[in-house]
Amino acid sequence: MNVVSLFSGVGGLDKGFLDADYEIIWANDFDKFAVQTYEANYDNPIVLGDINTIPLEEIPDCDVLIGGFPCQPFSMMGQQKGFEDARGTLFFRIAEILSDKIRKKKKPKAVILENVRSLKTHDKGNTYKEIHRILHKELGYRVFCDILNSADFGVPQTRNRTYIVCFDDPAVEYTFPKKVELNSTLQDLLEQDVDDKYFLSERILPTILSDGTGGYKARSEIDLKVARPLCATMAKMHRACQDNYVTQKGRVRRLTPRECARLQGFDDSFVIPVSDCQAYKQFGNAVTVDVAKAVAESVKETLKELGAWVEK
């Protein structure tokens, strides 16, 4: 099955679909450093550029369209402006791409979108209702939605994300993938020979381990068995109530980029060609590969039941 990937980042969603025997024929991201990492790890082409400025005719026809569209407008970490934020309108670009394919009678058989957990509750649920309405009423897809946690798919990271799965069949029945037992901990993924730069100084340690100040207080814990959600701003080193810190050789340190990659399901063959700062951003924004693969496999089974699956 040919796949077009939008907002590809470093390819967490793409990797899951590749591992499930799909073929990525076209990918896109506007971040040059993310594209650098993507090109270092995948053979399929990726286009660097703003999806809003790429002509629709340059986006190839596909069987499946996937995309983890920008989450900041809906995230609890941001101001939750939703469609008022220019980035929030990127969903409408997805709809525009799909509308163009429909007009040309090249409608993708399935669409898989990923976003933050709070997408469903943003603006008292009105944001998701509008997304559902466009996908279902305007574009003719049967829409399924659920929140999936990376820790339920074999990865020791609490990362709840909204998955929207759509099929071009009004009678289709679809079930999201089943949870699997978590058999590893954050400690199992740690590197053992770590550069001294990742260890916290005695000066900053009290601030990092504090429970906050003023109106913001939260319990700071380290050495968690299941990691907190990785975030795109990890390079700033937030307090331990937000970021992940571990004790090693009697000292407290932050996670390394490689450990962050592991917590997103990327194996150690995954090349990290960028700075630590960019790597933290990329893995904080990434889709967990194991979840992506589970969704891709479940979509494949449904497409097979519909007689719509096409082998590579």
- 260 included as an active-site residue: no
- Looking at residue 292, its pLDDT comes to 98
pLDDT of 87 higher than 80:
no
pLDDT of 122 higher than 70:
yes
Tens digits of residue pLDDT in 191-218: 999 999 999 999 999 999 998 666 666 7
Which residues fall within 8 angstroms of residue 39, CB to CB, at 6 or more apart?
46
Backbone angles phi, psi at 259, to 5 degrees: -65, -35
For residues 260-276, average pLDDT:
98
For residues 259-267, average pLDDT:
98
- Looking at residue 23, its pLDDT comes to 98
pLDDT of 139 higher than 90:
yes
Compute CA 62 distance to the chain's CA centroid, rounded to the nearest angstrom. 21
Distances in Å between the Cα of 114 and the Cα atoms of 43, 78, 104, 225 are 23, 17, 26, 26
pLDDT of 79 higher than 90:
no
The rounded distance, in Å, linking the Cα atoms of 93 and 107 is 15
Which residues fall within 8 angstroms of residue 207, CB to CB, at 6 or more apart?
239
Catalytic residue among 71, 166, 231, 260, which?
71
Domains of the chain: 2-179+287-305 (3.40.50.150), 186-282 (3.90.120.10)
- Looking at residue 69, its pLDDT comes to 86
Distances in Å between the Cα of 185 and the Cα atoms of 96, 156, 192, 195, 226 are 42, 5, 15, 22, 6
* pLDDT tier at 59, thresholds 50, 70, 90: very high
Whole-number percent of the chain with pLDDT over 90:
84
